[in-house]
Amino acid sequence: MIQNLSEHQREQLQEALAHGGQKVTPQREIVYSVLLAKRDHPTVDEVFNRARESMPGLSLATVYNCLETFVGCGLVRQVNHERESTRYCPNLAPHAHFRDESTGRVHDIELPEHVLSTLRSILPNGFETDSIEISFHGHTKNSRNHNSN
Amino acid sequence: MIQNLSEHQREQLQEALAHGGQKVTPQREIVYSVLLAKRDHPTVDEVFNRARESMPGLSLATVYNCLETFVGCGLVRQVNHERESTRYCPNLAPHAHFRDESTGRVHDIELPEHVLSTLRSILPNGFETDSIEISFHGHTKNSRNHNSN
DNA sequence: GATAGATTTTGAATCATTCTAAACACCAAC
DNA sequence: GTTGGTGTTTAGAATGATTCAAAATCTATC
């Protein structure tokens, strides 16, 4: 069920890993191929199960390691970036969040209606939205006590 | 340190809870007041600790219950909505995600550059972004096998 | 003041993730 | 071909946020 990587894909993998002095390993090949084979945003556990079909001895920790490596070298993106504790806020107006990576603080960013409609406009037909979540990640310069709602 | 609720705030609380046949309790008042007192997107644990200053016997589970109740009746928003397993995708082009609540599936939504710049334009001065995450939540109509990248 | 329903409490259970230490693989130098 | 080093994998324990279950407590109503 799991395809091997194509020439091109293996090269991509090899090149991306090379930057951090990291190597292509059978485990990494399998995990990467799983990701490419079915692009349904699998969880770690799903990746693990699919990968084990071709490599029964593979361990869960390795899958975590591989994925972390891939994210680190820019091969793969994490969909639910926010794996820290859930946070709560009482600001009910439509707003985005800006997370300052240096301080860990979260700021509210007002969301004008025109931005929301721009966003809604990029959805294909048939997609109906209940809510949109937007979070910026970055840092603030000369931040003179912005409100941190 | 923790303020009591104002007349108006207590009414809001009372009204929001009333819809689900739920009542205002001392614990809920405290938790709500904690949220209003310092709008810094606290974690459950932070809420717990602040609330215990005014109500030492309060339990963590109650804080979880209160927050869940508040979210349920629309009083409060969860910042890190996505508390399920982290998901991964190999699509490196800038794209948003659309989570279909009925199927649980995640679709990629292409993000044109003009949308990105619109988004960046709403940031106040001094905010510098490394990355923007956008996720839509909703459902799809007559979804004829959209690509689910 | 008894009963029913919602709420809170405590502590145990769960689940994703991270950590740790030992085993392994590969390669270069000897 | 053995030795040493580095990076990788493995298994299992540990952590940490969250949820669950059951008993205790409240509140309103009869």
Return all residues near B69 (Cβ < 8 A) that are at least 6 apart: B17, B20, B22, B28
A98, burial (CB in 10 Å: exposed 0-12, middle 13-18, buried 19+): buried
> Does B28 contact chain A (CB < 8 Å)?
no
Share of residues in chain B with pLDDT > 90 (%)? 23
B76, burial (CB in 10 Å: exposed 0-12, middle 13-18, buried 19+): buried
Beta bridge partners of A77: B89
Q: Which residue has the tokens 């006590």?
A: A145
> Does A77 contact chain B (CB < 8 Å)?
yes
Q: pLDDT tens-digit profile of B72-128?
A: 888 887 766 555 555 566 566 778 888 776 676 778 888 899 999 899 999 998 898
Per the CB < 8 Å rule, is B88 touching A105? no
pLDDT range class, residue B147, cuts 50, 70, 90? very low
Alpha carbon distances (Å) from A89 to A32, A34, A116, A149: 37, 38, 20, 7
Give me the DSSP letters along B10-22.
Answer: HHHHHHHHHTTT-
- Residues A61-72 have a mean pLDDT of 90
- Which nucleotide, over all strands, has the C1' atom closest to the CA of A86? D17
> Does A66 contact chain B (CB < 8 Å)?
no
Whether CB of B132 is under 7 Å from strand D: the answer is no
Instruction: From residues 15-44 of A, list those within 7 angstroms of strand D by Cβ.
Output: 17, 21-23, 25-28
Q: Give me B54's structure tokens.
A: 């005014």
Give the closest residue to A107 by CA, choosing from B22, B123, B64: B123
Q: Is the pLDDT of residue A25 over 90?
A: yes
Residues of A in contact with B78 (CB under 8 A): 86-88
Round to whole Å and give the CA distance between B64 and A126: 36
Q: Is the pLDDT of residue A27 over 90?
A: yes
B127-140 and B95-100: which strand pairing? parallel
Nearest beta carbon to residue A88 from set B77, B86, B110? B77
Q: CA–C1' distance B2–D3 (Å)?
A: 66
> Does A68 contact chain B (CB < 8 Å)?
no
Contact indicator for B112, A122 with CB cutoff of 8 Å: yes
